[in-house]
Chain A
Amino acid sequence: MEDKNPLSPHIQIYSWHISSLISISHRITGIVNITIITLICFWVAFLFLGNSNYEIIQNFFGTYFGKFIIIGTVWSFSFQILSEIRHLFWDLGLGFELKISNITGLLVIFGSFVLTILIFTLGRSLIL
């Protein structure tokens, strides 16, 4: 059966606003996050290979690139958390006014960096 649903306009059609930037970033970080979670699943699988093989992973996380990946992961998840909270408020019918929507959009962008710093600082001080 032929689908009569209209397609969304492709992203190059839009002129850029905070709302479109957040919307597209929300989708991109969503795909990045599930890729990261899949890598974390492989990380769990790697534990099965034993202590001697695990040194490869530990050495990787000891490098600057490894740390960059972890900080990038925290930022990507932080962005998704704040953007998802913004969506949940919209679902309750709150925050649709243009001015409020722009303010919450900016809060998501800047808040994601603040949350990244907070999680990294507090998380590193946690003792397992």
Chain B
Amino acid sequence: MINATKKWIFLKISSVMLVPLMLWFLFNLVSFYDKAYDEILLFFTSQPTKFLFSLFIIFAYFYSALSISEVFEDYIENEKMKNVANKLLYLFAIIIPISTLFLLYKLSL
């Protein structure tokens, strides 16, 4: 299987996973966004919301990194620039969710 096919399959799996997770998050976001600190903290640190939110950000960054790299493929001609952009993108897509999950689990302790 060539890399482009693998990338496409991963993109589709993550998009199927993301649709219900996005809906779940949106319903919750509009219900809690203006609530006080304690209620927001409870939302992010209690189960099953902590687990679902973790899944949501992992799949969201995974899907976005794959999609945005397609945009780079379509519009950046210079190979070196494209490689640098892709590496920065993948670094960003790894660091932000891992840091957030780390903070989330520290908050729960």
Contacts and interface: CB of A to CB of B under 8 A. Distances in A.
Top 10 A-B pairs, shortest CB-CB distance: A123-B30, A8-B74, A34-B64, A126-B31, A54-B37, A41-B100, A61-B34, A51-B37, A123-B27, A123-B31
A124 B26 CA distance: 11
Interface of B is mostly: helix
Given A45-B100, A73-B29, A30 B67 contact: yes
Interface of A: 1-3, 5, 7-8, 10, 27, 30-31, 33-34, 37-38, 40-41, 44-45, 47-48, 50-51, 54-55, 58, 61-62, 66, 70, 73-74, 77-78, 80-81, 84-85, 87-88, 91, 119-120, 122-124, 126-128
Interface of B: 12, 15-16, 18-19, 22-23, 25-44, 57, 60-61, 64, 67-68, 71, 73-75, 77, 79, 82, 96-97, 99-100, 103-104, 106-107
A37 B60 contact: yes
B29 A74 contact: yes
Given A27-B71, A33-B64, A81 B28 contact: no
A41 B96 contact: yes
Contact of B39 (A48, A122, A128): A128
Contacts of A34: 60-61, 64, 68
A7 B77 contact: yes
A125 B96 CA distance: 32
B60 to A, nearest CB: 5
A21 B15 CA distance: 21
Nearest to B49: A128
26 contacts: A2-B79, A7-B77, A10-B75, A27-B67, A30-B67, A37-B60, A37-B61, A41-B97, A41-B100, A44-B103, A44-B104, A47-B37, A47-B103, A47-B107, A48-B106, A55-B37, A61-B33, A66-B34, A70-B33, A77-B26, A81-B23, A88-B12, A123-B26, A126-B28, A127-B31, A128-B42
A91 B11 CA distance: 12
